[in-house]
Structure 1
Amino acid sequence: MNKRLEALSLDGLDSYVQHINKNPDELEELFSLVLIGVTEFFRNFEAFEQLRSILKDILANKAEDGGIRIWSVGCATGEEPYSLAMLICDILPPDSPLNIQIFATDIDDKALAVARKGIYSPQATESIPQDMAQRYFDKVKEGYQIKKNIRQFVLFSRHDVSADPPFVKQNMIICRNLMIYFNNNLQRDTLKTFHYALKEQGVLFLGKSESVSVLPDLFTPLDSKNKIFRRTEGSPMYAMDYGRFRRKQNVQNEEKSEKVLPPGFSLLDNAKESLFNYYEHPFVVVNENHQIQEIKGSLRLYMEMTEGKADVNLIKMVNPELTMELRALLTKLKKTNKPQESKIVRFSLFEQYHFVRIRALPMLFEMHNTRYYMVIFEKIQTDLHYFNFEKDFSLKEIQDLRIQELEQELAASREHIQTFTEELETSNEELQSLNEELQSANEELKSANEELETGNEELQSANEELHTANAELRAVNLELIEKEQQLIEYQKQLQKSERLYQTITANFPNGTVGVIDNHMILEFISGKGLASYSEPDRDRLVGQVSYALNPEESERKKLKMLFEDAFQGHEGEAELFYQGQAVKVFATPLYFAEDGKKVDKVMYLSQDVSDYYYALQQVKESEERFRMLADTAPIMIWMEDKNRRNIYQSKGWWQFTGSTPDDNYGEGWLQFIHPDDRERVNQTFQEAFDKREPFSEEYRLRRADDTYHWILDNGKPRHNEQGDFLGYIGGCIDIHEQKELEKKKDEFMNLASHELKTPLTSAKAYINLATRQLQSGGNAEVVNYLEKANKSVEKLNHLISELLDISRIELGKINPKRNNSILTN
């Protein structure tokens, strides 16, 4: 209520009532605020896992009749019934013929609307196992929606478990964290309803903080920890109050509908239930103090609420004209424990006369060691003309009737007075004996009181002092409690920090962490560098002089100087050798005093760097060897990174070009290439880089004397062990002399071929002339020699032609032509 007042900025209930009169929908807002709709999927997941095994047994036993019915009470926005449906689908095979019906009920229409849609936010689905979320949810714009094959199992309906008839023949009822808001009476009624609604061997699943302790005979625990119970077989002596259920508005439909006998009802039970439902007279059930416990029917004709503090005492609420009769009737009933009946009593209400007979009956059974009584009001119907007797009777007849009525009332009053007199006499006798006992006790109390008065004065003065001291102690105690809570919190934080510190120091890689005091005594040591030490040996290290642990005198001096410098407030580091291993030690001063001026402790970190130094030395030696080879090699070596930036050139390049490293950085080396070759070389390099392929290129490079020499440049891509491209490495060779020699060779071959060809042609012509003349003269032997000489000249001519062909190829003067031909044997 206060929340709504604050939300509406109202100052009191009167203004809130006015707001409700103007805005009737406010009652719905107030009602929804009263409802507690806190729920989630698979709430207390351990309990649902235990329920899984129980569901397996239920589903296995239901294979014969082919159906299972489950009632989810107080379902709110539907997370619990959907969790149950997903659990069942997880257990059953996809082609199972079982008919699954889950009735999910609540009194909050807005929550039921959300449940029917089955759409939930990502935060609401976090408690669902990932595999189930993937199988049973679809991603939608608003979040995640339950799949249709799950939603079709669940029927959502508005239902008040305290007033509406229950769903019957259920195999399981799930009602979690609802009954914790009920009082004991409503819990009893609800458990009776659940017992009635469940089949034999039915299962009840309650919340973590709920139990069946108010009616333990109705259910047997299956899993007390997870609040899973089974319906007790048989019919316990707890009659369910059917009268509290609301009757349907449509009476005609109700009369026409077929009424099914509840399971386990005998014919006698049916008769009792029929008699109960057809009994027209209203009645109340009261306890021994006349407090009303149950009401059936309308009693507004006989009872009313009186002004003042609310009281449900029947004697105080009944019509004043019936009070005396009712009081006498209940007195007789309690005295005899037998049914009592009054005479017909006339009373008036709103200026009309009514007649009633009151019956008082003892209940057959006591409940919880309490006796209960039933009071029935039987309305007596009279003819209408009776109320018009003044017109039909004479005055004397009316007076006689009135006298007779008064005599009956007087006789009843005398009987009531006689009953009260007997009760008073009995009470007086009891009071007399009690009075005598009180008088004797009073005399004893007087003597004791005198003693107490004396002691009381002393106690009074002492009490005032104690009261003052107690107030002081209470204030101190509250302060101590607060400090104790702070101390506990500090201890938790300290323990957490200590565990973190120990974990970090114990896992310090390849070294140790230590703390020393101002006497150089080791107070703490930890780290993976102690792996070679046994536990006792580690313990013996604490308490020794820290720098004295190193066996070498020179190293001890280094360590001592490092620690002494740290105690002067200076951080430092030192490299030394311990048992043949290279160790690097870092020292840091620690200040614990509030002024922060004096160094109290020194923390050091020592780490074995032998592998690092060895690897560093290897790298240095490798680099030195490479530079030595590169600088002394007869070629110019270069390196570029993966972005084609020049990162290294040997001394040979700098000497050849007369340049410095800064001149060649990046793409600066291209300036030393002949302008006619520069674009071609740059394109060759770029294509090779893009394809990550080796390349070879000849170009002219400018020397330190500004002349150009031909060089041969070979490049190859570089990769690391993982295959990643790092750039290129290459070497340049001066081939200028080779180029000059080839040029001279070509010139010589051209000249030689010409000089040889001319006399050879003349010799061949002369030999041909001589041969023809000798053939005509008949000198066969000379002709034979000339023919042999001619063949030798032809062979020499062929060799010269081949020599000329080689020269032409090198000069680029021969253009070969392609000819298609078939080669055969």
Structure 2
Amino acid sequence: MNPTSETPVIVAVGASAGGLEALSQLVATIDASLPYAFVILQHLSPNYRSMMVEILSRETQLDVKEAAQGDKVLAGIAYIVPAYANASIKNGHLQLTTTSPDVVPKPSINQFFMSLAGEERERAVGILLSGTGSDGVSGLRAIQIAGGITIAQLPETAKYDGMPQAAINEGVADYILPPDKIIQKINHLLSFPEPEELLESQLIRDLLVKLKQHMKQDFSGYKTSTLLRRVHRRMVATENKDLKSYVDWTDNHPEEFELLSRDILISVTSFFRDVTAFDALAIIIRDLCDSRAPGAEFRVWVAGCATGEEAYSIAIMFAEALGDKLGQYRVQIFATDIDEEAINIARRGIYPAQSVRGIDEARLQRFFQCTGKEYEVNKLLRDMIMFARHNLVSDPPFLKLDIVSCRNVMIYFDTHLQAKVLRTFHFGLTRDGFLFLGKSENISQAEAHFSPLKRRERLFTKVGESRPAEHHEPAIGAKGTFQRRDRKTELFLNTLADHFHVTAALCDTHGIIQHTVGHVDRFLSFPVGSTRLVISDVVVEPLQGEMLALLHRCQKSKKRVFGRKRRIGDELLRICIEPASDGVIPMSIVIFEPVSQPSDELHPGAIHVDPDETLESELVATRENMQTLVEELATANEEMQALNEEAQAANEELQATNEELEAANEELQASNQELVSVNEELNIKSFELTSLNAEYSHLYDALEFPILVFDQEGLLSRYNAVAGRRFDLRPSLISQAVAKLRLPEALRDIESLIDSVIAESDRASRILEMDQTTYHLMVAPGFDHNGAIVTIVITLVDVSEVVETKARLKESEAKLEVLMEKTTVLFATKNANGDYAYANKRFLESFGLEGEAYQGKSDFSLLQEAIAKEMWESDLKALRQGGIIENEILLQNEARRRHIRCNHQCVKDETGKPIAFIVEGKDVTLNKEAEEKLRIAARVFNQTGEAIIVTDPSGIIQTVNSAFTEVTGFSFSEAVGKGANILKSGRHSNEFYANMWQQLAENGSWQGEIWNRRKNGEIFPEWQTINRVEGEDGKTEFFVSIFLISAASRTRRGKRSI
């Protein structure tokens, strides 16, 4: 192949279950620059939007798109056929047809594969990936027949191996590969030369000679183009780059001849292929059946039957045409093919479901038996057909045939071989027999032998006569006499014969006498008891040879012929044979006409019959007769060969019958083995039941609580060991009523409970106290398969711990409820749908839901829409993101605004499924108000004109305001974390500072003028006030210092700035 971007290689890929994984692996290996176009048919549901385009786009360099009606198939693009449509291809464009919702699977892989095979022929490439079923198998077969490449996924790599395994089993996969190796293989295969480049006539002839020697099959008459395509396929398969290397390769691999022969012999067909043509044939078959009386025989030859579908189709039409009268006729269909493997498939008569898809349901029900995923032809059709291996070219034909069907076989033959085969069919057909050909075939090589009946449907009738192939009986009446003619006609004919002194006989084309006039006893001798009145047999002996020769000449020339003058007794006569016809059947009239011998006196120029001349004339006649006998002998020899072939076919039929009997015997043996197996299984089941009964007994005894089993009458049938010890039961009490059992006082009403359960067909239970222990009493009915009560099972389980646990749990729940009601935390739970299950009092009060029937309602039913939306969105975030989702809700009523800070959590089970939402809240209104006050204080702190500094008790600066930075030049980050001594000017003594700290300790404050140093080193005076701030424990928490720049200092700063 030489693909280009304009004429790309179209690769069709079919997949079903598990196909997405295989497709992803396949497309990941494709180089978008290669001249390939891909059409992907993945079985999908049309009820859901497919993500195939998006998924595959992430895996490949190709442009992936959904196929649309009329798309031109271009290289570098992968077309995804949508699930609602089936696809085909025409002139390089995709054709989509909407499918019925009931049709599955879809899109159809088979339909597109077959369309691609018809469009692209040997350029087609079909790939079948993971999936169940067998869709695509028939399509791969069509591509293989067309000469294309077929590939199936290696089953071990497929998630579901049904489809690729079906292709492998049917032998329609040329290569079996994992998905990531397929494109590499296609690249390699397409590098081989085109079939046209193999046209080396001598090498092809050499190959055909070898093929004939090994397989005994002569393909020399096949079309060269067909041979080239098939040889090219085998060259690619065996990886031989040129024809010479392939021919040499076969010398060392003789098994290749069988594979090549199988490739050339295209064994493919289908039931009722080309419905219109088969409908026309059905009409002919009905007319044929209506024209024959019970006891008649119908003979049909299906030449090139392949795997038998066509032969069975014709058998179905005969069965339908004859109906209930089928048993009164003999229908014999000879189905032949040169491919032994195809014949074996036909004999089995078992076909996959897709092969019978074109057959309507009524025919399937009548003529087939469904066996799982396959259909088997029933015995009614099998009895009509005899399958045999037969070489259409070299073997003799079947004879006395009413119909010959040879469809799509001769298209592979050259014109010489076609003419030879058509002559063979002509010889085998009876007069007015029918020939049924394929829609691509014609009779141009034998137009003289056949006449079109329905040209469009390729139905033809036989024209003319072949050599005698069957013997017709004379027209004999019920009592063995000639049929009576009209008396006046008989009188008229006899009078004419007497007047002209002639004797005549009417014969059919085989020489059988139909009627006579004149004195026949002079020339014809009728043996007693003969039923075959052939004129050449009953004519007088001197005329027998000449009669044969003249009949032969007349039939051949279709003209009047004359014999030589002969003397019979005292008469001189000659034979004249005149061709005649009744408009339908050709006939012959044999006339024995006298020849007058005039006297010399009356006729001076009269001819005298000389004895020598007579002998010479008889010698010539004898030679002609001998020649006729030779030709007749050759014809008889051919008939004998044909009869011999029929005998061989009959022998094969007997062998096939013997095989069927052997198969039936094997089936009987298999049935016997099945019965033995069933018996063994029953024994095993019996043993299992015994074991199961023992296990149940052990199980009953192993249980730690009493079990009593009563029958439907209320009689004890079983008890376990614990019940025996607890209630002092013995085996002698089996089948006793409850009243006879010594049960404790607490169980005295057990009999009424049993009656209640039987009456209501439902279990009953109650809690009871016995011996300072709490028990759960359960009375349960047991039903059979009809729903009738057969047993009553009573169990008495100690539930003291359960009851105590429930009590403790109830107490814990009560405490928890008190805790939830007393806590200041808002708490609520919702189910997975967002409906409230529980909310504490604080939650209800805060959201204004006191007295509301909140349980089972959602936020949108209870709260304002905006608040409900916030709550629900937070729940959804918790569901998606996990963890705790925090949000703050503002609630406002007439009294005041309230701020609620909520935490939302989603609770999930072990599988990750959400089961509940938890909402915890806290009223942060006071916090909000305090924060607001702090914001105000901070604003005042930063915007006041006085410089403020805050230190901890050790003098480390905690914060400063902007006025501090303006006065000292130290920024916030430069001051915080440093000691207050960064402002120390050095002008004050230690005693000054000691006195200042003493006053702070005694009075909690100090004020006075002090000199400090700016960041730039300048010393300035300020009036400073320091206050100590104490905590609740009376200890100093921090110092706050506020200072004002003195007037003198401000004056000096002002002058400097001027």
Length-normalised TM-score, structure 1: 0.35
TM-score in terms of structure 2 length: 0.29
- Higher helix proportion: 1
